[in-house]
Amino acid sequence: MSYVHAGFLKGKFSLEYTDMVHPLAVLKYHPEMQKQLDEITQQGWNSLYIESRGKTVCDIDVDQTYRLLEDGVGYYIQLFLGEERPAITDIPEVTEFRINICTQSFPRAATIDLSKGVVTYVHEAFWEWQEEWRNDAARLSQATEVYEVAKWLLDVKKMKLHEGLKMERYTALSKLFVAPKEEPVK
């Protein structure tokens, strides 16, 4: 890139970019996600933040010189915006907000992306269940614990499964964990 010239820029502008965003900033601008986290807690589970991304807006007042650069393809302005990243003034779109749902036995019973309503992982204690494990009380207890999370996410919250997970698998497994209905006494 070569230097073309410098000038002076004054005024207000909005800087928009998509990048990783601190989860507290996301929750500030998207209280519906806090509500979803609260619902997880109400189920007796915890959540563990993994990663969030979003379209971020920063409103900036500029009163400084700039440099105009050229790279043979186009022209670019180079500005110094300060020693710290400009303050976020809005997050109009969250493109990713991944968390783990933690149960008593599993710090990662399931992983979900709240921004998309997608379950991206279900612990193998349930997802890889083998019917011959039914007589192993510890395995059955763990699988049932994960099943309760999957059932709540998929049946109650109506989340979708990530493309690597098949709904047919969940449906077949869930039939194994549903308690049979008692016949009415005649």
> What's the domain count of the chain?
1
- The whole-angstrom separation of Cα 71 and Cα 104 is 56
Asked which of 18-27, 57-66, 112-121, 149-158 is least confident by mean pLDDT, the reply is 57-66
Flag whether 184 is in a domain.
no
Closest listed residue to residue 19, CA positions, set 59, 54, 66 = 54
* Of residues 120, 121, 122, 117, the one with CA closest to residue 159: 117
Residue 141 has pLDDT above 50, yes or no: yes
Domain annotation covers residue 186: no
Is residue 40 pLDDT above 60, yes or no? Answer: yes
* pTM for the predicted model, two decimal places: 0.83
Mean pLDDT of the 92-97 span:
97
Question: Is 70 exceeded by the pLDDT of residue 185?
Answer: no
Residue 183 lies in a domain: no
pLDDT class of 81 with cuts at 50, 70, 90: confident
Instruction: Give the pLDDT confidence of 2-27 residue by residue, as tens digits.
Output: 877 888 889 999 999 999 999 999 99
Residues spanned by the domain of 99: 7-177
pLDDT at 65: 86
**Mean pLDDT of the chain, nearest integer:** 91
What pLDDT is stored for residue 90 in this prediction?
Answer: 96
Residue 107 belongs to some domain of the structure: yes
- 150 near 101, Cβ under 8 Å? no
Residue 182 lies in a domain: no
CB 4 within 8 A of CB 68: yes
Report yes or no on 185 lying in a domain: no
Within a domain: 56: yes
Report whether 150 contacts 110 (CB < 8 A): yes
Exposed, middle or buried: residue 118 (CB in 10 Å: 0-12, 13-18, 19+)? Answer: middle
